[in-house]
Amino acid sequence: MTAAVLTALVTTGGCGTSAESRTTKVSVPQAAGETSHTTIAGDRGPGDQPDVLPGLGPRTRADIPDHTRQALVVTGSGRNSWKSKAVLYERTDTGWQAKASWPARNALRGWTADHRAGDLRSPVGVFTLSDAGGRLADPGSRLPYSQSPNFRIGGTGFAGEPLAGSFDYVIAIDYNRERGTSPLDPTKPLGAESGGGIWIHVDHGGPTHGCVSLSRPHVERLLRLLDPARHPVVVMGDAASLAT
């Protein structure tokens, strides 16, 4: 995989406008009353076992495969917000149990149910998690892991923050991509206009182009926790959309 291919990947809706650099700075607004730890109505702590995933409406729940036993629920506080919260749930015989809860970030302009390349919004929906990779060596991922020096990005983000290291660890979100391939694979079954390269990756301190970001320790832990035998998915969107 060449650096040029990675550039093509991240310029069609993913988390970067260039694999080499980004220098444009824009205003990064924060919604009134928003904090780095977004509180979502209906949150439950680790150890609780609800019958259904908290905060999800019947339409969203219906999109979760019956055999899924792990779900990372990423909930944004508003449609136009770039701050969110990620909770990893595991399904047991008695219900869904929250295993971990982390602050997260998403795209600069928030969320959309009709993601397009370059719209600076993260796609709303339920997506499988099949493949991982990164610039650094496998930290113990159960998902297939592809290490490559081409997981690199430089320059600065929307708030002027350095982007270096953001792709040290990534988990591919199966939106408009070929499952069973490296996250670097540029194949887009829905076409380039629908974007792609949507990942869970290392947080760089600002909003993304479409991905979900978590702190480095949390991405590492998630890589170790996600189990292909449990058919993991990510359920992602603003709270209002997920409640439908």
pLDDT at 95 over 80: yes
Alpha-carbon gap, residue 40 to 26, rounded angstroms: 28
Q: What percent of the chain has pLDDT over 90?
A: 79
Residue type, 209: H
Mean pLDDT of 92-97: 94
What is the pLDDT averaged over residues 1-27?
Answer: 40
* Residue type at 232 in one-letter notation: P
H or E segment at 223? helix 216-225
Give me the DSSP letters along 141-206: -SS-EEE-TT----SB-TTS-B-TTTTSSEEEE-SSS-TTS-TT----TT-GGG----EEEE--SS
Using the predicted structure, report yes or no on whether residue 10 has a pLDDT greater than 60.
no
Q: Is residue 5 pLDDT above 90, yes or no?
A: no
- pLDDT score at 167: 98
Burial class from Cβ neighbours inside 10 Å (0-12, 13-18, 19+) for residue 76 reads buried
DSSP sequence for 37-75: S---TT---TT---SS-TT--HHHHHTS-TT--EEEEEE
pLDDT tens column, 172-203: 999 999 999 999 999 999 999 999 999 999 99
Structural Rg of the chain based on CA atoms: 16
Residue 105 has pLDDT above 60, yes or no: yes
For residue 146, the cross-strand partners are: 133
77 compared with 122, residue with greater pLDDT: 122
Asked whether 77 and 84 are in contact (CB, 8 A), the reply is yes
231, pLDDT greater than 50: yes
State yes or no: is 15 an active-site residue: no
| Whole-number Å distance between alpha carbons of 85 and 150 | 29
pLDDT at position 48 is: 54
pLDDT of 212: 98
pLDDT digits (tens, 9 = 90+) for 18-61: 333 333 334 444 433 333 333 333 344 444 578 899 999 999 99
Cα three-residue angle 206-163-126, rounded to 5 degrees: 60
Structure tokens at 23: 């220098």
- What does the block give as tokens for 112? 């959309």
**Catalytic residue check, 37:** no
Q: Which of 15, 204, 209, 211 is catalytic?
A: 211
Can you tell me the distance from the alpha carbon of 174 to that of 157, in angstroms, rounded to the nearest whole number?
A: 24
CB 40 within 8 A of CB 75: yes
What is the pLDDT confidence band of residue 13, given thresholds at 50, 70 and 90? low
Largest Cα–Cα distance in the chain?
50
Catalytic residue among 15, 115, 201, 218: 201
